[in-house]
Amino acid sequence: MTTTMKAIKVANPGPTYVLELTEISKPAPGAGEVLIKVAAAGLNRADIAQSMGMYPPPPGAPDTLGMEASGEIVAVGSDVSKWNAGDKVCTLLGGGGYAQYCVASEHCLLPIPKGVDVVSAAALPEVHFTVWTNLIDSARLKPGDSVLIHGGSSGIGTAAIQLCAARGHLVVTTAGSAEKCAACEKLGAKRAVNYREQDFVDAVKEATGGKGADVILDMVGGDYIEKNFRAAAIWGRIVNIAFQKGMTANVNFAPMLMKRLSLMATTLRARSNAEKGVIRNALLKEVWPLIDAGKIKPVVDRIFPLAEAQAAHARMAQSEHTGKILLRL
């Protein structure tokens, strides 16, 4: 049996980073873990930050890139009862997905939904774990709520629009071109605003009959923090998953007080496997049936061979994509 495998390593973490295909040791599953022969890995914007040396993996995670993957279980560690060699799965990872094999916690494993091929399934874990825990656990999304989703054409945005539309919510979203706006409306958004041309606050007010959005999922930050206060309904809940436009802002908090708003922010990666397992269970119950039924689909932008990870990163860095970029093994 071979003890090494091909994987992508960052040769020189920093602004001019180079992704190299190298040979590294094949990992082995520990207690509560499985070894997966990877079919595909999903790209995430955090992979770019990690490659630039700005986002180290959490303690205990491999230092190779890759926060999600799909494939076939080929070995099972001790204390794993529900999964067997031969099972096809997709999974959230602390790291190590850009490789021929990866080790995953049993708490993070999900079956491949009906009608989804094993490669496309790599587009599912990170977006659905993130969207579910932020919209449902943090923002307490309830039936009838309207939702503003920023960055609608992102991996996260395309999943959030579909989930909200499938659950009957009115969705307004922002995206950076007419084509991306059209793609978001096709996925179920009632209104997609080209943020380069129009103010989203007016559009949200218009789409919600002047009320504002009950829930806002934001990945932009900066001046959007205060604009979100203006776009929110009374008792609105705003959750930030990133601050691409800036971690600091000069904000007038008066509307937050007057409208009784909640502002939250969370990250997923550093949470414990047990905590991720709770989210996984909710996805199995509430989201996987919607994917099985074809009401939510993986939105795959482009699939690159593993050796072309650098080109895949360039496509994401330039924001040329709609949905998820994948690496095929």
**Contacts with ligand NAP, residue ranges (CB under 6 A):** 44-46, 126, 130, 150-151, 153-157, 174-176, 180, 195, 219-220, 241-242, 244-245, 266-268, 316, 319
Residue 108 is encoded by which pair of tokens?
A: 């993070």
Q: Where are the alpha helices (DSSP H) in 63-115?
A: none
Q: How far is the CB of 112 from ligand NAP (least distance, A)?
A: 21
Between 138 and 208, name the residue whose CB sits nearer to ligand NAP: 138
Closer by beta carbon to ligand NAP, 150 or else 297: 150
Give me the least distance between CB of 1 and ligand NAP, in Å please: 35
In angstroms, the CA 151 to CA 134 distance is: 15
CB of 97 to ligand NAP, least distance (A): 13
Q: Which residue has the tokens 């990945």?
A: 219
Residue appearing with tokens 């919510």? 169
Closest distance between ligand NAP and the C-beta of residue 250, in Å? Answer: 17
Residue nearer to ligand NAP on the CB measure, 73 or 136: 136
Order across the sheet with 213-218: list the strands.
Answer: 191-194, 170-175, 146-149, 213-218, 232-240, 262-265
CA distances from 319 to 153, 176, 181 (A): 10, 9, 14
CB closer to ligand NAP out of 180 and 205: 180
Give me the least distance between CB of 160 and ligand NAP, in Å please. 9
Residue nearest ligand NAP by beta-carbon distance? 176
Residues sharing a CB contact under 8 Å with residue 270, sequence separation 6 or more, in sequence order: 58
φ/ψ of residue 166, rounded to 5: -65, -30
Given the complex with ligand NAP, which of 44 and 228 has the nearer CB atom?
A: 44
